[in-house]
């Protein structure tokens, strides 16, 4: 985007979008009536939605710090970025290493409208934003912004945070994720959260229906299906667990009831 220009985008306010539902639950203002209606209807069924979404955000924070501090990752590809909510990924990893580079991608036009908030890189680092749908991985992998920002010969941290459940077909979701992983060099890492109804199946079946009624996709997967996204990779200890149990910063996370968390989280290394 050129300086001083604001893109003209169709915000598609006639149907709910996961990024805007997420924004509403986290207390943001970048959402519309259809998003709020979907969120409120879901809260009526599953009051823990806010707890769950905040746990997802803090998992991203922990995963980003782990990859930057413990694994030395200095470039990241974040697919399904969502509406900017500080601290964003680049703020976390550039605090560890200011030279770190981050490419953000999302398919929600409202994220594009707020992309400037994702461009406030540390002076030594760099960030870029690509308007892209992960269902079209070839277009994403060919984007000039990706190649201008990330070195394709050095390890990349791929962030798939609360995104694969928007692709309901299992084969398509696996193929998309595998195509992106295959394009990354050896030594790269994948951090992902995968929606599951293992811990509250009846309640979350109603959540799925509510999302569908408001025009948004939703697909919960059991642990075996979630693990398939990491096939061929080396899972980092403690493996694939409910996301609030993945290396929590304190014991408070462990006091959350399992039924309040509907995602597995894990990090794995590409050999």
Considering the domain boundaries, does residue 42 fall inside one?
Answer: yes
C-alpha distances (whole Å) from 178 to each of 25, 94, 129, 225, 230 are 31, 27, 22, 14, 9
Considering the domain boundaries, does residue 4 fall inside one?
Answer: no
Pairing of strands 75-79, 241-242: unpaired
pLDDT of the residue at 1: 38
From CA 14, how far away is CA 134, in angstroms rounded? 22
Considering the domain boundaries, does residue 49 fall inside one?
Answer: yes
Considering the domain boundaries, does residue 183 fall inside one?
Answer: yes
pLDDT over 90 for what percent of the chain? 77
Q: What b/e string do you get for 110-119 counting C-beta neighbours within 10 Å, with b at 16 or more?
A: bbbebbeebe
What are the tens digits of pLDDT across the range 22-76? Answer: 889 888 888 889 999 999 999 999 999 999 999 999 999 999 999 999 999 999 9
Considering the domain boundaries, does residue 8 fall inside one?
Answer: no
From CA 257, how far away is CA 55, in angstroms rounded? 12
Q: Where are the alpha helices (DSSP H) in the chain?
A: 18-25, 33-45, 49-69, 89-96, 109-113, 137-142, 144-149, 170-182, 201-213, 223-227
pLDDT of the residue at 2: 36
Considering the domain boundaries, does residue 5 fall inside one?
Answer: no
pLDDT of the residue at 86: 85
pLDDT along the chain (271 residues), means of 10: 44 79 86 92 94 95 98 97 89 97 91 79 93 96 97 97 97 98 98 98 96 93 98 98 94 83 98 98
**Token pair listed for 89:** 């990924």
**Count of domains for the chain:** 1
pLDDT of the residue at 252: 64
Q: What b/e string do you get for 5-32 counting C-beta neighbours within 10 Å, with b at 16 or more?
A: eeeeeeebeeebbbbbbbbbbbeeebbb
pLDDT of the residue at 108: 84
Q: Angle, nearest 10°, between helix axes 201-213 and 33-45?
A: 160
pLDDT of the residue at 6: 42
pLDDT of the residue at 64: 98
Considering the domain boundaries, does residue 141 fall inside one?
Answer: yes
**Token pair listed for 48:** 């823990």
Domain that holds residue 25: 18-269
C-beta of residue 192 within 8 angstroms of C-beta of residue 265? yes
Return the SS3 of 204. Answer: helix
Cβ neighbours for 139, distance < 8 A, ≥ 6 positions apart? 132, 133
pLDDT of the residue at 9: 56
Specify burial of residue 138 (Cβ count, 10 A radius: 0-12, 13-18, 19+): exposed
pLDDT of the residue at 11: 62
Considering the domain boundaries, does residue 255 fall inside one?
Answer: yes
Q: Can you give the CATH number for the domain in which 166 is found?
A: 3.40.50.150
Residue 131 β-bridge partners = 106
């Amino acid at each position: 985007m050129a300086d001083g220009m604001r893109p003209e985008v169709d915000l598609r306010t006639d149907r709910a979008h996961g990024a805007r539902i997420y924004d509403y639950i986290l207390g943001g203002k970048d959402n519309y009536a259809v998003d709020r209606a979907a969120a409120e209807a879901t809260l009526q069924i599953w009051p823990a939605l806010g707890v769950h979404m905040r746990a997802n955000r803090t998992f991203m924070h922990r995963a980003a710090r782990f990859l930057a501090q413990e694994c030395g990752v200095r470039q990241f590809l974040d697919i399904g970025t969502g509406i900017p909510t500080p601290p964003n990924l680049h703020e976390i990893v550039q605090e560890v290493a200011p030279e770190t580079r981050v490419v953000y991608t999302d398919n929600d036009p409202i994220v594009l409208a707020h992309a400037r908030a994702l461009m406030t890189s540390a002076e030594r680092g760099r960030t870029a934003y690509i308007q892209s749908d992960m269902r079209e991985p070839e277009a994403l992998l060919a984007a000039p912004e990706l190649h201008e920002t990330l070195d394709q010969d050095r390890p990349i941290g791929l962030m798939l945070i609360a995104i694969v459940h928007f692709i309901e077909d299992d084969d398509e979701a696996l193929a998309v994720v595998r195509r992106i992983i295959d394009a990354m060099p050896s030594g790269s890492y994948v951090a992902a959260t995968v929606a599951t109804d293992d811990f509250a199946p009846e309640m979350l079946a109603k959540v799925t229906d509510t999302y569908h009624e408001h025009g948004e996709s939703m697909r919960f997967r059991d642990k075996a299906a979630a693990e398939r996204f990491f096939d061929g990779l080396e899972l980092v200890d403690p493996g694939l667990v409910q996301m609030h149990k993945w290396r929590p910063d304190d014991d408070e996370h462990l006091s959350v009831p399992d039924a309040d968390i509907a995602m597995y989280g894990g990090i794995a290394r590409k050999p």
